[in-house]
Amino acid sequence: MEWSASEPFQLKVEYQLYDLDGRPTVKGTAEEDWTEADGKQIRIQSSSLVIGDAPPADKYAVFRRESYLVHQALNALTRPFPAPTERKDFAMDEFHQTLEHSELNCFSLVKPGTSRALESPAYCTNTDNQIVAMMGHLFVLERGDFRKYRTHEVPNHVSLSYEGKPAITMQVTELDPLPDAKVANNKLKKPSSNVVRVSIEAIAGLFLKHKEPQYPKEAKKKHIAGEVLLTAIITKQGTIAGLEVIASPDQLLTQAAKEAVQDWTYRPYLMNGLPTEVETTITVNFAFGK
């Protein structure tokens, strides 16, 4: 929605969080204000997490699993594509996908002359050309109950699941233009964190120490396999901090992945020649035969 720079907005939602096994846990609320000058200002409040205009006491609180999932769901509401894309820079790889017994028309944005990779995000549309689902290697995000807001089609509801288990559901309670007074106030705010988010590809070549996870014997015995998705902070020194598990097939694999990744070290990520603290996602794969 921020593609229209003259239209700052305020979004309020309620959400239900689920644990790694797909069981409902806490409920919370979130607000997002957006202006062209200051970007996103997000506030989150639940019984387990409070993130407001002031920096939290725990500098890594904004990267907890709950915050990560809230940000994913908010982005899915207002910005299904990560950034405006020039048509000359991408092509559409189209295919069909069955979701909940419905066949959808889907596509991935790819470099011209290439085809969709397994991990490439995919977007599925309904007969009204609304994006009703977004899919990745491990997740499915569904969008529904659309409303017209200015020139946009915005869903009132989103649900995000990983490996078939619900992670978060979110419902819009308000979506309005941001009042002029609040636009002015936002200019005085400072970001709650200066940690830079980077892709796993951006830090893949920076490994110094990469401890392989040990496949738990009990998991092998029970034929438990799959991938554990984590989010982590890589400090200026190249160590792991703020490690959080986002999704996992089983608690046995969760623990094994965390024990391995927490000891990984990297060469510092450099931005403008200076070591910079970054957040990234890490996937640990447990497959038979490894």
What is the reported pLDDT for 86? 56
Place of tokens 């002359």: 113
Question: The whole model's pTM is what?
Answer: 0.88
| 127-185 pLDDT, tens digit each | 898 999 999 889 999 999 999 998 888 999 999 999 999 999 999 999 999 887 666 66
| 62-96 pLDDT, tens digit each | 778 999 999 999 999 988 876 555 556 778 888 88
Scanning the chain, the segments in alpha helix (DSSP H) are 65-78, 180-186, 200-203, 217-221, 251-261
Residue ranges, comma separated, of all CATH 3.30.2420.10 domains in the chain are 196-286
Q: Which fold has domain 196-286?
A: TolA/TonB C-terminal domain (3.30.2420)
What is the reported pLDDT for 47? 94
First to last CA, the chain: 44
Cβ atoms of 204 and 244 within 8 Å: the answer is no
What is the reported pLDDT for 90? 79
* pLDDT over 90 (residue 249): yes
- Please, which residues have CB within 8 angstroms of residue 105's CB and are 6 or more apart in sequence? 94, 96, 124, 125
| 183-240 pLDDT, tens digit each | 666 654 544 456 788 888 888 888 888 888 999 999 999 999 999 999 999 999 999 9
What is the reported pLDDT for 188? 45
pLDDT band for 21, please (50, 70, 90 cuts).
very high
Place of tokens 């904004």: 62
**Is 223 or 113 the better-scoring residue by pLDDT?**
223
Question: Mean pLDDT, to the nearest integer, of 9-16?
Answer: 96
Cβ atoms of 6 and 150 within 8 Å: the answer is no
- Look at 75-79, 115-119, 211-215, 255-259 and tell me which has the smallest mean pLDDT: 115-119
The DSSP string of 223-279 is T--EEEEEEEEE-TTSBEEEEEEEE-S-HHHHHHHHHHHTT-EEPPEEETTEEE-EE
